[in-house]
Amino acid sequence: MPIGVPAVPASVASTETLKRDFEGVYAECWTPVFRLALAWTNDWPAAEEIAQESFARLWARRDSVDWSEPMLPWLLTTARHLATDRFRRLRRLIGQSRAIEAALDLDQHARWLDVRAAFARLSPLERAALALTAVSGLASEEAATTLGITSAAVRSAVFRARRKLEEA
């Protein structure tokens, strides 16, 4: 499972350089990371939490990260693991009510509830494959690396997802 961060034995970067590098990755990668988490969970607040936690883990490893490498693959894989972890946490903290999606106005929130219901017919894997390919534009091989499955499985999941949405 690809979960390492590209590492270099480089000297410790300066404070400002680290901060600039991190903020650049943060701004560039937030949306695809959030989208994968949203696809996996179908839960807006949980997806934001998972996306933030993914970046937190990257920040925790800032000193060993080669910031010249693309960070998105690692962030996506981390988000996927954290999304799975979320269900494990559900075992011990159950029934916790969540805030209404603050990022959306009332009309958007109503639309989101409708879209979420349609996407609830899909499995998390199908939603994730769809989000990575049809929405974020990854090739099936790249999505396969992120999801830890074969590219054929990605294409199959996307096919099933589209078929279910047709019927939704």
Partner 1 sequence: MNGQPTDDRGNNADRRIGEWADLSAMSRPPAARPEVLRARVEVAVAEQRQPRRSVPGLAMALVVVVVVAGVGFAVSRQRSVVEPSASASAAASESEPPGPSASPSPQVTLPGDDVLDIGRIDARSGWAYVLSPESSKLGVPILLMTDDVGATWRDATPPQQADFQPIIEFVDADHGWVLDADGPLWRTTDGGRSWQETALPTGRTGSSAAMSFVSASTGYLLLSANSDKDPEPWVLYRTEDGGASLQRVGAVTLPDEPALSGPLPMVAFSDPSSGVVAGWKVVLQTDDGGAHWSTVSLPATKGSAAPRYAGVSLLRAFGPQLVLLALIGGPTTPYEPTAYVSADAGRTWRPAYAWSAESATVWAIVDGQTWLDFTTAAGPMYMEATSDAGDKWTTSTGAGPADRHIMAVSFVSSTDGWAIFQVDSTCPAGAFCAMQLPAGQLAETHDGGVTWQLVP
Considering only residues 36 to 95 of the shown chain, the ones binding partner 1 according to CB under 8 A are 38, 40, 42, 44, 47-49, 51-53, 55-57, 59-63, 69-70, 73-74, 78, 81-82, 84-85, 87-95
Give every CB contact of residue 146 below 8 A, 6+ residues apart in sequence. Answer: 36, 73, 76, 77, 80, 132, 138
Task: Say how far apart CA 62 and CA 5 lie, in whole Å.
Answer: 10
SS3 for 1?
A: coil
Site mask, partner 1, residues 8-27, x = CB under 8 A?
Answer: ----x--x--xx--xx--xx
Residue 114: alpha-carbon gap to chain centroid: 21
Report the residue from 67, 135, 151, 155 that binds partner 1 according to the rule CB under 8 A. 135
User: Binders of partner 1: how many residues, by CB under 8 A?
Assistant: 94
Least distance between partner 1 and beta carbon 105 (Å): 9
SS3 for 90?
A: coil
Q: Based on the shown chain and the rule CB under 8 A, indicate whether residue 136 belongs to the binding site for partner 1.
A: yes
The neighbour count for residue 10, using CB atoms within 10 Å, is 12
Asked if 7 and 66 touch (Cβ cutoff 8 Å), the reply is yes
Q: According to CB under 8 A, which residues from 102 to 121 bind partner 1?
A: 103-104, 108, 111-112, 115, 117-120
Q: Based on the shown chain and the rule CB under 8 A, indicate whether residue 35 belongs to the binding site for partner 1.
A: yes
Q: According to CB under 8 A, which residues from 137 to 166 bind partner 1?
A: 137-138, 141-142, 145, 148-150, 152-153, 157, 161-163, 165-166
Asked if 59 and 16 touch (Cβ cutoff 8 Å), the reply is no
